[in-house]
C-alpha cells in the first residue's frame, strides 16, 4: 500500500538513500528496534519536526518573512543535510518554479490549470518510471514527497484560475480558496517547503497557509462567544496546541512500534514464499490480513506523526466549537485508523484512508472536468480514476487493486441497499436487536475483502500479485463475481419485493413503489400510508469516487453509453448506426 491506496510516502519506496558513513548510526539503531536505517531516519525527521515546529510557532506573528525563511532553512537541511537528496531538491524546485511560472504567465487562459496539472503529473510520472525501472533500494528517490507536491501545486493553479472568475461562476469552496493575486515568491516558497509536511504530507491549499501565516486563520467568527476564545501564550494568536500535538506524537510512535514489532513476522514477501503454502487456508487468510494490518501500522504512524507537528505549528487549527469553546485540530487529518479498521462497508473503509488525497481528487479533478451547470458523470469518474492511478505510479499491482476495488464497491452498495433494511425497523429505521450481527459480519467481510484487494499494493508486481491471490484461492474475486451474478439475476427483484411487502405490513408504502406493497397491505387488512422512506446514515448514495475508485461501474457504463448516444445524435448519425455502435460497446464490456 504505497501511501495508498495511496498515499503519500512509503518508508521503503519513498526515501531510499545511498550508503554513506553518516547513515551507519541509523542502521545500527534500526537493527536494534527492528526497522531499517532509512526508515528510522525518516521517523527521526518526523520527531525532529516537533521541537522545530515549536520554534516556528514562536517566531513573532508580525514577522511572516522570518517564518518563511525558517521553514526554508529547515526543509533544505532535511533534503540535503539529513537525506542527501540533492536530486530531490532539484525535483522540488523544478516542479514549484514551473507551476508558479505557468500560473503567472498563463493566468488569463482557461487552459492554465490543465497545463499546470499535465506538467506536474508528467514530471512526477517520469520519476515514477525511473524509480520503477531502477528497482534499486539504494536509489535516491523523492517521488513520495513529489506526490504531496503535485496535490499542493495543481490545487494552487486552480486557485489562481478561480481568482480570475466572477462570483456567480464559483462554488462556495472555490470562493474560499481562490487567489485573486499571485503570492510573493517568499510566501510561495514557504508553502512549498513547509517542513512538517514536506516528506509525507499532509497536503493543504495555499489559502490555508496564508491564513496561518498572517494569523487570520485564528479569527473568531461572529457565531462564537468571545469568552470562549481559546487560550494563547503571550502575544501569540495561535492557540495552545502542545497537548493535542503530543497526543498525536505518542499515538504515532505507538503505531511505528507496532509496525516494528510485527513487520518481522508479517511482511509482503511472505505471501509469495514457498513457506506460505505450509499453512491451511484459514491460516493463510489470517496471515494475508496481518500483512495488510502491519503495513497500515506504518502509514498510521507516519501520517499521525506529521499531523501532530503541523498541529504544534498551528496549521491544524480548524475552528472553535461555538457551544463548548473546544478547539478543533483536525484540519489536516489524513487518516482515521478506527474508521478504517472497523469499517462496515467499502466507502467507510476508503473514506477514512488517505483523506486529503480523496479531497484533492474530489475538488480538483472530479468536479473540475464537469462543465458548469452539469452533473458529474462517466467522464468525471474516468478522469478521477485515471488521475488516481497515475498519481500512485505504474506498478501493475496498483491497477489490479484499483479495478477489483471498483467492483467490490458495486457489490457492497447492492448488499447494503438490499440486505441492511431487513435489520432496521421499517417505520422508524431504528436498528433491530439483530442489527449487531449484521454489523459484526459486515466488519469481518469488509476487512478480509480489502486485505485481499490491497495485497497487490504491497507486492507491486503482476505475477507476484496473482501468485498471492491464487494461494488464497482468489476468494475475494470469486465472492465479488458471485455477488454480481446474484444481483444481476431475478433474485434482486425478489429481495426488493420482500422489502416492500415488509414495509407495507408495517403500514409504510415507499413513494413510487409498485403495487405489490399495496397488495400486501390489503392482505393483512391495513390501509397503507404513503410515506417517503428516508435514507439512513449510509453514504453509499454519494456517487463521487473515493480515491478515484468507481462505486458503480455498471451505472457509469450506462452513463457512458448515454453520452456516446448524445454525441452521435448531435453529429447526425442515424438511429440504426447509433444502435450498432452502442451494441458494439456493450459487447466489448
The secondary structure of 235-288, three-state, reads CCCCCCCHHHHHHHHHHHHHHHHHHHHHCCCCCHHHHHCHHHHHCCHHHHHHHH
Q: Apex CA 177: angle with CA 176 and CA 182, to 5°?
A: 130
Which residues are CB-contacts of 349 (< 8 A; sequence separation ≥ 6)? Answer: 339, 340, 343, 446, 450
CA distances from 369 to 26, 52, 224, 381, 541 (A): 46, 40, 37, 9, 21
> Buried b / exposed e across 279-311, counting CB within 10 Å, b at 16+?
eeeeebbebbbebbbbbbbbbbbbbbbbbbbbb
Q: Dmax over Cα atoms in the chain, in whole Å? A: 86
The answer to whether 335 and 39 have CB atoms below 8 angstroms apart is no
> What is the spatial distance between Cα 123 and Cα 117, in angstroms, rounded to a whole number?
10
Map residue 549 onto helix, strand or coil: strand
The torsion of the CA quartet 367, 151, 15, 134, rounded to 10 degrees, works out to: 60
> Buried b / exposed e across 509-518, counting CB within 10 Å, b at 16+?
bbeebeeebb
DSSP 120: H
> What is the spatial distance between Cα 458 and Cα 472, in angstroms, rounded to a whole number?
16
The answer to whether 163 and 111 have CB atoms below 8 angstroms apart is no
Report the 10 Å Cβ neighbour count for 433.
7
The label of the residue with cell 514527497 reads 145
CA distances from 358 to 31, 123, 270, 454, 548 (A): 36, 21, 31, 17, 8
Of 13, 128, 289, 392, catalytic: 392
CA distances from 19 to 82, 89, 236, 400 (A): 13, 19, 43, 34
> What is the spatial distance between Cα 472 and Cα 45, in angstroms, rounded to a whole number?
39
Helix (H) or strand (E) holding 529: strand 529-531
> What is the spatial distance between Cα 366 and Cα 149, in angstroms, rounded to a whole number?
19
Q: Is the dihedral of CA 22, 25, 28, 31 positive or negative?
A: negative
> What is the spatial distance between Cα 11 and Cα 9, in angstroms, rounded to a whole number?
7
Q: For 468, how many CA atoms within 13 A lie in the half-sphere containing its CB?
A: 30
End-to-end CA distance of the chain: 28
Q: Does residue 392 carry a catalytic annotation?
A: yes
Task: Indicate which residues carry an active-site annotation.
Answer: 392
Amino acid at each position: 500500500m504505497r501511501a495508498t491506496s495511496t498515499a503519500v510516502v512509503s518508508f521503503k519506496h519513498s526515501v531510499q538513500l545511498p550508503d554513506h558513513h553518516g547513515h551507519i548510526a541509523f542502521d545500527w539503531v534500526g537493527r536494534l528496534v527492528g526497522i531499517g536505517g532509512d526508515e528510522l531516519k525518516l521517523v527521526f525527521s518526523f520527531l525532529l519536526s516537533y521541537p522545530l515546529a515549536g520554534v516556528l510557532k514562536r517566531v513573532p506573528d508580525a514577522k511572516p518573512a522570518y517564518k518563511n525563511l525558517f521553514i526554508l532553512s529547515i526543509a533544505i537541511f532535511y533534503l540535503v543535510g539529513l537525506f542527501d537528496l540533492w536530486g530531490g531538491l532539484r525535483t522540488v524546485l523544478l516542479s514549484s518554479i514551473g507551476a508558479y511560472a505557468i500560473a503567472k504567465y498563463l493566468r488569463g487562459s482557461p487552459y492554465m490549470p490543465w497545463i499546470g496539472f499535465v506538467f506536474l503529473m508528467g514530471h512526477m510520472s517520469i520519476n515514477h518510471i525511473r524509480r520503477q525501472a531502477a528497482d534499486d533500494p539504494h536509489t535516491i528517490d523523492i517521488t513520495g514527497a513529489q506526490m504531496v507536491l503535485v496535490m499542493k501545486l495543481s490545487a494552487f493553479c486552480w486557485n489562481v484560475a478561480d481568482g480570475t472568475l466572477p462570483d456567480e461562476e464559483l462554488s462556495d469552496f472555490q470562493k474560499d480558496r481562490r487567489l485573486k493575486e499571485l503570492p510573493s515568491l517568499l510566501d510561495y516558497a514557504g508553502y512549498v517547503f513547509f517542513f512538517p509536511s514536506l516528506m509525507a504530507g499532509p497536503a493543504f491549499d495555499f489559502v490555508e497557509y496564508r491564513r496561518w501565516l498572517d494569523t487570520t486563520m485564528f479569527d473568531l467568527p461572529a457565531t462564537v462567544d468571545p469568552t470562549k476564545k481559546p487560550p494563547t501564550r503571550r502575544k501569540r494568536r495561535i492557540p495552545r496546541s502542545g497537548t493535542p500535538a503530543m497526543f498525536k506524537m505518542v499515538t504515532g510512535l505507538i503505531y511505528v512500534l507496532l509496525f516494528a514489532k510485527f513487520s518481522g513476522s508479517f511482511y509482503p514477501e511472505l505471501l509469495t514464499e514457498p513457506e506460505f503454502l505450509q499453512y491451511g487456508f484459514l491460516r493463510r487468510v489470517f496471515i494475508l490480513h496481518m500483512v495488510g494490518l502491519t503495513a497500515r501500522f506504518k502509514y498510521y504512524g507516519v501520517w499521525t506523526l506529521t499531523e501532530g507537528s503541523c498541529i504544534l505549528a498551528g496549521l491544524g487549527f480548524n475552528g472553535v466549537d461555538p457551544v463548548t469553546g473546544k478547539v478543533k485540530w483536525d484540519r489536516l487529518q489524513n487518516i482515521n485508523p478506527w474508521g478504517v479498521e472497523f469499517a462496515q462497508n467499502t466507502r467507510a473503509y476508503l473514506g477514512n484512508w488517505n483523506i486529503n488525497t480523496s479531497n484533492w481528487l474530489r475538488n480538483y479533478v472530479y468536479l473540475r472536468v464537469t462543465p458548469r451547470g452539469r452533473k458529474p458523470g462517466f467522464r468525471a469518474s474516468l478522469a478521477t480514476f485515471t488521475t488516481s492511478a497515475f498519481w500512485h505510479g505504474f506498478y501493475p499491482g496498483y491497477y489490479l487493486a484499483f479495478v477489483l476495488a471498483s467492483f467490490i464497491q458495486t457489490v457492497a452498495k447492492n448488499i447494503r441497499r438490499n440486505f441492511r433494511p431487513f435489520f432496521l425497523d421499517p417505520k422508524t429505521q431504528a436498528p433491530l436487536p439483530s442489527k449487531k450481527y449484521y454489523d459484526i459480519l459486515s466488519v469481518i467481510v469488509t476487512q478480509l475483502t480489502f486485505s485481499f484487494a490491497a495485497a497487490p499494493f504491497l507486492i507491486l508486481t503482476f505475477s507476484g500479485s496473482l501468485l498471492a491471490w491464487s494461494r488464497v484461492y482468489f476468494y475475494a474475486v470469486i465472492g465479488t463475481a458471485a455477488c454480481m451474478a446474484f444481483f444481476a439475476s431475478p433474485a434482486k427483484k425478489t429481495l426488493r419485493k420482500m422489502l416492500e411487502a415488509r414495509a407495507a405490513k408495517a403500514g409504510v408504502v415507499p413513494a413510487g413503489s409498485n403495487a405489490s406493497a399495496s397488495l400486501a397491505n390489503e392482505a393483512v387488512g391495513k390501509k397503507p400510508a404513503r410515506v417517503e422512506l428516508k435514507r439512513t446514515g449510509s453514504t453509499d448514495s454519494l456517487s463521487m469516487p473515493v480515491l478515484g475508485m468507481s462505486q458503480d461501474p455498471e451505472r457509469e457504463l450506462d452513463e457512458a453509453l448515454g453520452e456516446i448516444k448524445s454525441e452521435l445524435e448531435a453529429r447526425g448519425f442515424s438511429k440504426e448506426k447509433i444502435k450498432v455502435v452502442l451494441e458494439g460497446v456493450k459487447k466489448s464490456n
